[in-house]
Structure 1
Amino acid sequence: MLTTKQLKEIKELQEICEKGEPFQLKLNWDMLQSREANEINDFFHYEDGKLVGFLGLYGFGNKVEVCGMVAPSWRRKGIFTKLYLDAAEILKERGVQEILFNAPAKSESAKLFLKTIPCSYAFSEYQMKWEERELREQKDVTLRLANDDDFETIIQLDVQCFGFEDADAHDYNIRISRNNSEQFYIIEAEGHSVGKMRVDHQDGEAWIYGFAVFPGYQGKGIGRKALTNVLIEEHKKGFPIFLEVEATNANALGLYESCSFKAYHVQDYYKY
């Protein structure tokens, strides 16, 4: 598990790396704050007691995403390559099936590093922000806080909608359930539990993650109504609202754009 001091150092380094740049790093703060105590996922490089390089591994089922950063004044000194080689040994031991490198689309230093390793472009992901507009509550679709009895439903949604294996979905949800900044919701419609989403509150912002509706209930407007109700509630609380979506997911992208979400940053993914 990461200490409070380590989390503070990562945040400070992120701010240094993003200052004056046209991008944001995706460091999955919900996962950084709920690391397993017996699993190595984070790699640090210090100079004179100050953190100048960081790389994190983020497991999503049978794939792992890799993202990191090096302070501008310490780049081109082999620091990130060293962090990556240390992480590669861990990934090899775990027998990870798929490795994806995350790089902000407008990060020149990230693209330079990616040219040094065997990888190819896989897809892009939009980070989107909701632009305020008037919405009307949808009473035939409701959201309630998830409880222990919903665990199997949540797992099956990850399996059927996101391609997780059962065991991976189980482990992943156990891990993220430790994050106290997140609220886990079950979507109910037609008298059944038909979907889920979670809302993470970080730095005065609300981020929507894990939004899914069972395939048999898709195409009925349930997702749009559930999203509308969440937007109303989070807006009432005064939070700016964000989410992420793959550029290739036309249905989800169309839904979000029609609900007044606008893309403001792009993250590119490269398959190792």
Structure 2
Amino acid sequence: MVHPRFRRQGIFSKLLSISLDECKKRNFNNILLLCDDKSKAANEFIKSIKSNYSFSECRMKCTNWSVQPSVKNIILKDAKNKDICEIENLNEIFFGLASSEQILPEDEEKNNIITYLIQLDNKIIGKIKVDKELTSAFISGFGIIPEFRNKGYGKAALTEVLNNLKKEDINTVGLDVEIRNKNALNLYKACGFKEQSIMNYYEVNI
């Protein structure tokens, strides 16, 4: 991003060139460029370089929601360091990847980032991460194991998270969701989230 006063002077092109040179030194094969869907300048720049559209994410926000009844057999359990293998397994199921660097839940909790394991009758069926800061929070890494989807458990878990945040006087919650994931989009809308903006991702080969 370049300040509007200094655009159209080749500054971003130069920054990108320097970044690509550094990536080559590190033997990267490609990078992702993020582009706000409503940014005319950014979209024009994307068209001017060799890139391939990859995917888009929608930023959603929920404000001033009300506490809803809990589903008794759905429980949120604070993840501990001993649960790291469980978390990595869930990440691989949900996102098709395993982290190269394990971040321990108890270390993240010191910075108000909490990973909850979602339990159904003592069985772990998913997880959700909540990053809290003053009166706002951001949700990420949310998923339910495939065999338990489309049964209302995702909505129950998200409702429980929102209930807990409301009790902590948090009044704004944000999250990102891939726009092709219609089930997730509908779930978040059903829980009071509204679309705010769209970010497009483009892949650039090095």
Is there any run of 5+ residues in structure 2 with no aligned partner, and where?
Answer: none
What aligned pairs does 1:72-221 form with structure 2 within 5 A after superposition?
72-131=4-63, 132-164=65-97, 166=98, 169-171=99-101, 173=103, 180-202=111-133, 204-221=135-152
SS of 2:38's equivalent? coil
Q: Which moves more between the two structures, 243-252 or 198-207? A: 198-207
Letter in structure 2 aligned against 1:146: A
* TM norm structure 1: 0.67
Contact 1:122 1:270 in 2 (8 A): yes
Q: How far apart, CA to CA, are the structure 1 residues paired with 2:21 and 2:188?
A: 39
Q: Deviation at 1:202?
A: 3.8
Q: Which has the higher contact order (CA 8 A, sep 6+)?
A: 2
Aligned-pair identity (%): 34
- Other-structure match for 2:199: 267
Q: Which moves more between the two structures, 139-148 or 107-116? A: 107-116
Q: 2:154 aligns with which of 223, 226, 235?
A: 223
Aligned residue pair count: 200
For 1:120-173, what per-residue CA distance to the aligned partner results, in whole angstroms no more than 9, with x for missing partners?
333321111124244112221111211111101111111111011x3xx14164
Q: How far apart, CA to CA, are the structure 2 residues paired with 1:83 and 1:142?
A: 47
Q: How far apart, CA to CA, are the structure 2 residues paired with 1:124 and 1:78?
A: 26
Q: How far apart, CA to CA, are the structure 1 residues paired with 2:22 and 2:104?
A: 21
Q: Which moves more between the two structures, 152-161 or 83-92? A: 83-92
How much is the aligned-residue C-alpha RMSD, in angstroms? 2.2
Letter in structure 2 aligned against 1:142: I
Superposed structure 1 runs of 4+ greater than 6 Å apart:
none
SS of 1:149's equivalent? helix
Q: How far apart, CA to CA, are the structure 2 residues paired with 1:91 and 1:193?
A: 39
Is there any run of 5+ residues in structure 1 with no aligned partner, and where?
Answer: 1-68
Q: How far apart, CA to CA, are the structure 2 residues paired with 1:112 and 1:149?
A: 48
- Other-structure match for 1:59: none
Contact 2:67 2:166 in 1 (8 A): no
For 1:179-221, what per-residue CA distance to the aligned partner results, in whole angstroms no more than 9, with x for missing partners?
8241121111121222111111246321101101222332332
Q: Deviation at 1:259?
A: 1.4
Flag the 1:150–1:174 CA change in 2: closer, same or farther, 3 A: closer
